[in-house]
Structure 1
Amino acid sequence: MSIRKQVPMSVNKLPHGAFQWTLSFNPEQLQADQFLSDEGLDLPANLRYAIKKRQIEFLCGRLCVKSCMESLGYANPPLIPAGEDRAPIWPVELVGSISHTDRLATAVVGPASQIESVGIDIERVIAEATPQMIKHICCDLEELDELQDQQKISREEALTLIFSGKESLYKAVFPQLRRFYGFQAARVKAFGSNRLRIMLVTDLSDAFEEGTSWDLHSRMPSADLIETMVLKPKE
């Protein structure tokens, strides 16, 4: 049975010409070599001796990317390699982002002519919002309390949403910024129950100054998963 018949897949057409493909999988039921034989997808050198779970997660993410590119009109989508920093290297005409958990993978890809940047992230809901976890995520109590109250969600869901949102922003800005930065540089803010923004609270560069903000989209694919996305169209 082919890979695409083994893994449930769904597509979401996004604004500005982008597509999101998502698939659910059980790594125990898949083999890495199936992705090569069925889809022409292969592992990078640094993953060829990795544990099976890590290999399958990577390949499922790349299958989502391939599906996005097919939706964009590519008859034979090129492979998307990973750089030394493990970030995907996109063709100049595309922007994209990939994320996965141990059973769900997703990717967003769109035209660089319409989209400046995109970042997507999926996280399993944090088990307990301990002071240590709050500190690790660089989240202050005011940020956490406000988000929990405005979104009408649990403290653990609010903390996970903040963490995932900051991951999505990092993925969106990294291709331009090209350096690491701490999560204390950004803050998630809710405007009622239906709108989220993420804002820089310190300067990262001339292009990413304090006060720069982005819409933050979120959803729960299941009761224990939170997905966030930052997508900035070109002006």
Structure 2
Amino acid sequence: MNASPLLPACCTPLDAHWPLPTVLPDTVLLSTHFDPSQLLGDDFRRSAIEPPPSIQRSVAKRQAEFLAGRLCARAALQQLDGSFVVPAIGEDRAPIWPGHISGSITHSTGRAAAIVAHKQHWRGLGMDLENLLNPERAERLAGEILTPPEMQRMAAGSRDQLALLVTLTFSVKESLFKALYPIVQQRFYFEHAEVLEWNEQGEVRLRLLMDLSSEWRNGTELEAQFAVQDGQLLSLVSIRA
């Protein structure tokens, strides 16, 4: 995809490369790399993106990641159906998408991405990007992120994979929340889902551990996918229409 004339210097040209194992039909995924040190005071105005007050008051890193994520989202929507829309921030801090669109925005150190689709194809999309934890931090955080069965599986597995496992579990649960929350309108947390299995091909199977609605009940299983690149893990949960 060619760079938009509105692209600020802090962001690289938007990239349409699909970074995950399985391409989802009828979706648009765009990403960019960003450098907060290159952010200029009028970049929002020149990019035609209105920052909410919370972003205006924030540090350069937060402003740059917000701008990069919204640039990806706007361009993805434009590529999907020709609309020129920047998703606002809702009271729950989630992006507000057009009514016929499901989508997700994510960012981590120096990288942002957005994925969008029509709801007639995909009811829910949740994408999350995380820096890979180091083993020491992963061990400290495991008890907050993993359920008791997940902890047992971690203890039985290879210590070499501990950091990947904890990062993956955190990320896919974040993606699960992003995909399901717009549908069920109910908050849930790390202890309310568990990773049942995953493999090095990037496939993950998850299970809900609480009732979220009459449709999304305790025991419901979902699939996710992930990929690791340049010290970051990207995960995606997609719910078909």
TM range (shorter): 0.7 to 0.9
For this pair of structures, how many residues does the alignment match? 228
1:173 aligned onto 2:180: yes
Question: After the TM superposition, which residues 26-175 of structure 1 pair with which residues of structure 2 at under 5 Å, given as runs?
Answer: 26-31=35-40, 33-37=42-46, 39-74=47-82, 76-127=83-134, 128-129=136-137, 131-140=139-148, 141-145=151-155, 154-175=161-182
By how many angstroms is 1:129 displaced? 4.8
Q: Amino acid of the residue matched to residue 142 of structure 1?
A: Q
The answer on whether the counterparts of 1:117 and 1:231 sit within 8 Å (CA) in structure 2 is yes
Q: Amino acid of the residue matched to residue 25 of structure 2?
A: H
CA distance in 2, matches of 1:4, 1:27: 11
By how many angstroms is 1:169 displaced? 0.2
The answer on whether the counterparts of 2:204 and 2:224 sit within 8 Å (CA) in structure 1 is yes
> 2:24 corresponds to which residue?
15
Flag the 1:143–1:217 CA change in 2: closer, same or farther, 3 A: same
Equivalent of residue 206 in structure 1, options 214, 219, 225? 214
> 2:229 corresponds to which residue?
221
Cα-Cα RMSD: 2.2
> 1:185 corresponds to which residue?
192
CA distance in 2, matches of 1:203, 1:143: 24
CA distance in 2, matches of 1:97, 1:49: 24
By how many angstroms is 1:110 displaced? 0.6
Deviation digits for residues 160-214 of structure 1, max 9, x if unmatched? 0000000000111111222322211111122543331111122222221012122
By how many angstroms is 1:131 displaced? 4.6
Q: Percent sequence identity over matched residues?
A: 27
CA distance in 2, matches of 1:214, 1:21: 24
TM-score, structure 2 normalization: 0.86
The answer on whether the counterparts of 2:105 and 2:113 sit within 8 Å (CA) in structure 1 is yes
Flag the 1:71–1:153 CA change in 2: closer, same or farther, 3 A: farther
1:230 aligned onto 2:240: no
By how many angstroms is 1:138 displaced? 3.3
Q: Which runs of 5+ in 1 are unaligned?
A: none
Flag the 1:121–1:153 CA change in 2: closer, same or farther, 3 A: farther
The answer on whether the counterparts of 1:61 and 1:106 sit within 8 Å (CA) in structure 2 is yes
The answer on whether the counterparts of 1:35 and 1:59 sit within 8 Å (CA) in structure 2 is yes
Flag the 1:101–1:115 CA change in 2: closer, same or farther, 3 A: same
Q: Amino acid of the residue matched to residue 167 of structure 2?
A: T
By how many angstroms is 1:49 displaced? 1.1
Q: Amino acid of the residue matched to residue 116 of structure 1?
A: R
By how many angstroms is 1:2 displaced? 5.4
CA distance in 1, matches of 2:139, 2:174: 20
CA distance in 2, matches of 1:130, 1:62: 30
Moved more, 50-59 or 187-196: 187-196
* Matched position secondary structure for 1:144: helix
By how many angstroms is 1:102 displaced? 2.4
Which consecutive aligned stretches of 4+ in structure 1 deviate over 6 angstroms post-superposition? Answer: none
* Matched position secondary structure for 1:69: helix
The answer on whether the counterparts of 2:29 and 2:113 sit within 8 Å (CA) in structure 1 is yes
